[in-house]
């Protein structure tokens, strides 16, 4: 990603916190310093050279500049522009991996922005950072912080991972994935083809629709009936939609797993996320309920074998598509740990982060309290905006159909009336 899309700031991560009420900037400076002291990756740099190396620095103060937009005609819009600029401006990890900033919207309303290089964080880690920064700021202003100490720092886990990816355990992991994926083909969408991007239009398409509260509640109930979480259920609906688009009954999509099987890293910040390829096979007579059950098994097996980075599999294990295994990606954000900045107004702030240029087609489901957001990000040079809009609308329609009757065969599911 750094090689192919680093110039697009695809490797930026961001944590946002809207702070309302009295604000103490000196306390925030102390909180950010305590955060970097607590988590080594926030003070780890990557010197330039032929070989990637990590240099862990001793704790030290980190500048926290303040940008005051309170005098702007529309302070909220000005703050959103700053957030978008921050996430689109690269972080030089050879110098420092973290760039904090505070935006003053008015004297009682501040927006705290942490922009990080992806080398040192991932979505689960961002949730930890959001939690820890709130607690450490409270501590700096006189409130007790009750934070569990990280059992391992990232370097300890990296040593453990290196030991795991050798000998008999490596053979076991490789054997599972080659057996699961040999003969698999990447998803090839008929709608995908190279097309010119009109002048003045953004290179990426972003389409978002919401699943209403009643349907979301029904989806959670469906997950409980299958003794699983929302992830296999929403993924099964995605498979059903891909089947309707392609006619294929053997589909492989990529997803990002937290890769935190070791309890020692529950409170550890770092880049743990692992790309996992999820293959599902079914027929047009398969019902969505049966597909959910199959997907649940596939996801559980994948979680047990997620220690192996897919880049270590033999070349050409998976064929088809453009050859990039992350071409079509599905993920459920916040599925393993709730992020304090992934709801309501703060989710709106994160729109710029969600639109980073990373994958040709990325389908994201985001829980927002009682509702779900279905978001498609795809390349305008490869997909038509009208198709993208219809794709997300069809996904929401299938979600509603799944809630009303999950026992309809896939061949009939898309055409069946939604009540």
Q: What pLDDT, in 10s, does the model give residues 188-235?
A: 899 998 888 888 888 889 899 999 999 999 999 999 999 999 999 999
The string of pLDDT tens digits covering residues 106-138 is: 999 999 999 999 999 998 999 999 999 999 999
Q: Which residue has the higher pLDDT, 311 or 358?
A: 311
Residue 342: the pLDDT is 53
Give the number of other CB atoms < 10 A from CB of residue 73: 7
What global pTM score does this model have? 0.86
Q: Coil, strand or helix: which one is 114?
A: strand
Alpha-carbon Rg for the chain, nearest whole angstrom, is 22
- Residue 205 class from Cβ within 10 Å (0-12 exposed, 13-18 middle, 19+ buried)? buried
Contacts of 404 (CB under 8 A, 6+ apart): 218, 418, 419
Range with the lowest mean pLDDT among 113-117, 159-163, 285-289, 354-358?
354-358
| C-alpha separations of 275 from 224, 242, 325, 357 in Å | 26, 20, 9, 17
The string of pLDDT tens digits covering residues 385-413 is: 999 999 999 999 999 999 998 998 998 87
Q: What tokens appear for 36 in the block?
A: 């970097």
Instruction: Name all domains of the chain by residue range, CATH numbers in brackets.
Output: 2-147 (3.30.559.10), 164-413 (3.30.559.30)
**Contact by Cβ (8 Å): 250, 281:** yes
Residue 409 DSSP class: B
Q: Residue 249 — pLDDT band, cuts 50, 70, 90?
A: very high
Contacts of 98 (CB under 8 A, 6+ apart): 36, 42, 43, 62, 91, 114, 115, 116, 117, 120
Contacts of 114 (CB under 8 A, 6+ apart): 14, 15, 16, 98, 99, 100, 129, 133
CA distance 104 to 66: 7
Residue 313: the pLDDT is 84
Q: Residue 276 — pLDDT band, cuts 50, 70, 90?
A: very high
Residue 310: the pLDDT is 83
Q: What tokens appear for 330 in the block?
A: 């599905």
């Amino acid at each position: 990603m750094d090689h192919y899309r680093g110039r697009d700031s695809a490797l930026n991560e961001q944590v946002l916190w809207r702070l309302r009420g009295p604000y103490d900037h000196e306390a925030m400076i102390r909180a950010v310093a305590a955060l970097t002291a607590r988590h080594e990756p926030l003070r780890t740099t990557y010197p330039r050279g032929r070989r990637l190396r990590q240099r862990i620095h001793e704790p030290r103060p980190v500048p926290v500049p303040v940008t005051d937009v309170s005098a702007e005609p529309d302070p909220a819009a000005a703050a959103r522009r700053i957030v978008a600029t921050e996430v689109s401006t690269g972080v030089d990890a050879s110098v420092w991996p973290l760039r904090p900033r505070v935006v003053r919207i008015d004297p009682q309303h501040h927006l705290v922005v942490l922009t990080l290089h992806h080398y040192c964080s991932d979505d689960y880690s961002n949730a930890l950072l959001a939690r820890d920064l709130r607690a450490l700021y409270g501590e700096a202003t006189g409130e007790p912080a009750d934070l569990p100490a990280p059992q391992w720092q990232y370097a300890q886990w990296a040593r453990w991972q290196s030991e795991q990816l050798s000998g008999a355990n490596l053979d076991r992991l490789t054997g599972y994935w080659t057996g699961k994926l040999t003969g698999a083909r990447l998803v090839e969408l008929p709608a995908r083809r190279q097309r010119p991007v009109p002048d003045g239009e953004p290179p990426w398409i972003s389409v978002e629709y919401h699943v209403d509260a009643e349907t979301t509640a029904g989806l959670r109930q469906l997950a409980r009936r299958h003794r699983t979480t929302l992830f296999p259920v929403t993924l099964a609906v995605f498979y059903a939609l891909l089947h309707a688009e392609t006619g294929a009954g053997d589909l492989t999509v990529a997803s990002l797993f937290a890769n935190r099987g070791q309890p020692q890293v529950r409170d550890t910040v770092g880049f743990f996320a692992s790309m996992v390829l999820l293959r599902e096979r079914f027929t047009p007579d398969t019902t969505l309920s049966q597909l959910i059950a199959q997907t649940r098994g596939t996801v559980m097996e994948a979680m047990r074998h997620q220690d192996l980075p897919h880049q270590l599999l033999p070349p050409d294990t998976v064929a088809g598509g453009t050859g990039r295994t992350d071409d079509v990606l599905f993920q459920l954000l916040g599925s393993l740990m709730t992020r304090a900045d992934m709801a309501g107004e703060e989710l709106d702030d994160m729109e710029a982060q969600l639109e980073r240029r990373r994958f040709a087609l990325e389908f994201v489901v985001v829980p927002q309290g009682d509702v779900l957001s279905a978001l498609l990000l795809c390349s305008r040079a490869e997909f038509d905006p009208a198709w993208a809009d219809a794709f997300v609308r069809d996904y929401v329609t299938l979600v509603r159909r799944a809630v009303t009757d999950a026992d309809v065969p896939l061949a009939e599911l898309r055409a069946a009336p939604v009540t």
